[in-house]
C-alpha cells in the first residue's frame, strides 16, 4: 500500500521556516570563512577576517532576534500544529522559541565584539603555543572570559550560575551541577581503573608507533578507513590544520581536518576516524530539514558520541585491526614489517598518563576534560585569575594524572577552545563518551555482536543504525531524552566503565 502524502503545513509555519533557513545559510558562509581561517588563510589575514566574521555574526544575530522573526515565530506557534502529526515542525518551533528568547537577551554589539575578539585570540593562540608564550596570550584570554561573563549575565540561568547559561548553548538543559553529578563517580571509577592497570604487569611496547610514517601514506590510509566506515568523500574533504575539527557547511559539504606527525602514527589516523564520526553525523541529518533545528545535530555531547564511538569503540577494537592491519602494513612496509598485529593493537591502546588531551588514552581522557571543566568554571566566576592559570593547571593535572607539564605549550595552551570563546564546551566530550557507550550497547542489542562484523570490514550496519536512531532525529528530542529513547535508560556512566574494564582488565 503506498504511503500517504505528507500533510501540508500552514503558510505561517512555512514563512517562519524560510526565514530560519536563510539565517542558517548566512551562518554557513561564516562557517566556511572559519574553516578557511584554520586551514588556508595567510597569517596576515586575521584582521580582515575578524571584520568579516564580526559582520556576518552580527547579521545572523540581528535576523534571529528581530521583531519580524519574532512575529513569524509567534504566528507559526499559533497554527496549532500537533507534535504527533508533525514532530519535526513541532521540534523546529520548540527549539526556535528557546533560541530566540535566549538570543534576544544578548546585545548585538556584544555578539559582534566577542566574534572579533575570538578571531584575534585564535591567531594569538597559535603563536603563543608555538613559542610557549602564555603571557602574550593572557590578555586575549582575559578578554574572552570577560565577554563570556557578560553574555552569561545577559542570558541568565535558573540556577544563577553563569556557567549554566553558557553550557546550555552546547548541551541544552544541562547544568554544571548535573555535569558534576555524572563526573564525580566517573572520576572515581577512572582513577581506580587507572591504578589497577598501572599496578598490573601489563607491559606495552609503543616504539613502533614512532617510526617513519610518510604523510602521503598516512593520508591515503586514513582516507581509505574513513571511506570504509561510511564517510562520503563525494560530499566531504580532508585538509590539514593545527587543531583538528569537522566543519559542516551543509550535509553535502563537510570538511574534515587532521594533523600529521611524520614520526607518530596515531594523531592523523585516529583523528580522521574521530572527525569522520562527526562528519557522518552531519551527512546523515535529514536533508528535508536542512537549515532548521530538526535538521541540526541534537547537541555537542551527542555529536561527540558519534566521533568517539568510531574512533575508540570501533577504531581501537581488536576486530577493526584484524581487518585494517594488513592495509597498514602495506602502507608502511618499513615501519611495520616485523610488527605483530597483536603488538600493534596493544600499542594503540596503551594506558599511560600523558600531557596532551587529543592523544590521551580512553582511560585517562576524561580526567583531562574534568580538569578543564573545573578551571573554566573558576575562570568564569572570577575565582581563578587568568594570570594564575598555568599554575592551577599544573597543580590540578598532577592531582588527577600524577604528572605535570614542563611548559605551557603542553599545558594550558594546548587547546584552541578558550581562544575560540567556547566556554562550556569541554564537558560535552566526556558526555559524548558516556552517551557513546550506552548507544553502542543499544546497537548491539539490535544488530547482534558488532566486532565480528568489523573484522569482515562490515561497518554499514552500525552506520545505518546510527542514521536511523540518532542522525535522523535531529533536534526532535533534547539530548538526555534522545539517549533514553534510544537506549532505554537516562545517561549514566555504568556502560562506559563496564566497557573499559572489560577491555583493559580482561584482555
What Rg value do the Cα atoms of the chain yield, rounded? 23
Beta strands in 227-319 (DSSP E): 236-240, 246-250, 253-258
User: What does DSSP assign to residue 204?
Assistant: -
* DSSP annotation of 357: G
Q: Is the pLDDT of residue 6 over 90?
A: no
| Residue-level pLDDT at 85 | 83
pLDDT number for residue 108: 87
Q: At what angle do helices 87-104 and 11-39 cross, to 10 degrees?
A: 60
Please give the share of the chain, as a percent, with pLDDT higher than 70.
98
- State the distance between the two ends of the chain, measured CA to CA, in whole angstroms: 51
Q: Which residue has the cell 566556554?
A: 423
- The catalytic site residues sit at 275
| pLDDT tens track for 350-399 | 999 999 998 899 999 999 999 999 999 999 999 999 999 999 999 999 99
Predicted local distance difference test score (pLDDT) of residue 391: 97
Q: Tell me: the pLDDT tens digits for 465-488?
A: 999 999 999 999 999 999 999 999
How many helices (H) does the chain have, and how many strands (E)? 21, 3
Alpha-carbon gap, residue 306 to 303, rounded angstroms: 5
Q: How confident is the model at residue 1 (pLDDT cuts 50, 70, 90)?
A: very low
pLDDT one-digit tens code per residue, 127-157: 999 999 999 999 999 999 999 999 999 999 9
Dihedral sign, CA of 443, 445, 448, 452?
A: positive
pTM confidence score? 0.92
Tell me the C-alpha distance between 416 and 413, whole Å: 8
**Over 70: is that where the pLDDT of 5 sits?**
no
Pair 292, 25: CB distance under 8 Å: no
Q: Cα separation of 268 and 83, whole Å?
A: 44
Q: What is the DSSP string of 444-461?
A: HHHH--SHHHHHTT--HH
Cα Dmax for the chain:
70
Confidence category of residue 7, pLDDT binned at 50, 70, 90: low
Amino acid at each position: 500500500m503506498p504511503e500517504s502524502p505528507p500533510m501540508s503545513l500552514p503558510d505561517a509555519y512555512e514563512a517562519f521556516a524560510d526565514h530560519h533557513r536563510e539565517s542558517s545559510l548566512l551562518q554557513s558562509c561564516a562557517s566556511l570563512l572559519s574553516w578557511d581561517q584554520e586551514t588556508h588563510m595567510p597569517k596576515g589575514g586575521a584582521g580582515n577576517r575578524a571584520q568579516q566574521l564580526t559582520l556576518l555574526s552580527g547579521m545572523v544575530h540581528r535576523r534571529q532576534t528581530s521583531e519580524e522573526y519574532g512575529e513569524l515565530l509567534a504566528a507559526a506557534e499559533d497554527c496549532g500544529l500537533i507534535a504527533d502529526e508533525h514532530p519535526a515542525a513541532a521540534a523546529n518551533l520548540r527549539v526556535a522559541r528557546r533560541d530566540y528568547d535566549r538570543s534576544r537577551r544578548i546585545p548585538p554589539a556584544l555578539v559582534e565584539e566577542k566574534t572579533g575578539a575570538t578571531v584575534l585570540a585564535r591567531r594569538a593562540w597559535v603563536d603563543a603555543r608555538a613559542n610557549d608564550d602564555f603571557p602574550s596570550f593572557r590578555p586575549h584570554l582575559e578578554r574572552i572570559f570577560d565577554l563570556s561573563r557578560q553574555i552569561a549575565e545577559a542570558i541568565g540561568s535558573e540556577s544563577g550560575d553563569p556557567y549554566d547559561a553558557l553550557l546550555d548553548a552546547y548541551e541544552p538543559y544541562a547544568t554544571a551541577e548535573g555535569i558534576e553529578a555524572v563526573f564525580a563517580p566517573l572520576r572515581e571509577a577512572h582513577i581506580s581503573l587507572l591504578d589497577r592497570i598501572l599496578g598490573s604487569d601489563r607491559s606495552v611496547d609503543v616504539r613502533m608507533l614512532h617510526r617513519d610514517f610518510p604523510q602521503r601514506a598516512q593520508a591515503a590510509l586514513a582516507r581509505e578507513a574513513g571511506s570504509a566506515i561510511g564517510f562520503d568523500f563525494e560530499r566531504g574533504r580532508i585538509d590539514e590544520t593545527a587543531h583538528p575539527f569537522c566543519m559542516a557547511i551543509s550535509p553535502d559539504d563537510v570538511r574534515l581536518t587532521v594533523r600529521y606527525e611524520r614520526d607518530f602514527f596515531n594523531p592523523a589516523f585516529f583523528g580522521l576516524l574521530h572527525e569522520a564520526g562527526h562528519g557522518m553525523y552531519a551527512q546523515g541529518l535529514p536533508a528535508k530539514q536542512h537549515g532548521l533545528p530538526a535538521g541540526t545535530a541534537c547537541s555537542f555531547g551527542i555529536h561527540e558520541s558519534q566521533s568517539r564511538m568510531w574512533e575508540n569503540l570501533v577504531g581501537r577494537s581488536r576486530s577493526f585491526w584484524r581487518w585494517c592491519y594488513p592495509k597498514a602494513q602495506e602502507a608502511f612496509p618499513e615501519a611495520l614489517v616485523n610488527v605483530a598485529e597483536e603488538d600493534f593493537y596493544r600499542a594503540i591502546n596503551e594506558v599511560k598518563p600523558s600531557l596532551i588531551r587529543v592523544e590521551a588514552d580512553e582511560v585517562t581522557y576524561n580526567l583531562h576534560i574534568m580538569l578543564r571543566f573545573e578551571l573554566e568554571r573558576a575562570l568564569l566566576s572570577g575565582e581563578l585569575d587568568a594570570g594564575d592559570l598555568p599554575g592551577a593547571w599544573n597543580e590540578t593535572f598532577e592531582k588527577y594524572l600524577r604528572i605535570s607539564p614542563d611548559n605551557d605549550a603542553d599545558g594550558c595552551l594546548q587547546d584552541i577552545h578558550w581562544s575560540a570563546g567556547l566556554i562550556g564546551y569541554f564537558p560535552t566530550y566526556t558526555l559524548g563518551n558516556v552517551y557513546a557507550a550506552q548507544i553502542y550497547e543499544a546497537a548491539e542489542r539490535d544488530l547482534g555482536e558488532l566486532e565480528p562484523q568489523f573484522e569482515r570490514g562490515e561497518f554499514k550496519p552500525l552506520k545505518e543504525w546510527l542514521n536511523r536512531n540518532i542522525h535522523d532525529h535531529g533536534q526532535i528530542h533534547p539530548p538526555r531524552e534522545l539517549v533514553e529513547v534510544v537506549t532505554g535508560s537516562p545517561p549514566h556512566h555504568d556502560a562506559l566503565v563496564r566497557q573499559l574494564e572489560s577491555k583493559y582488565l580482561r584482555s
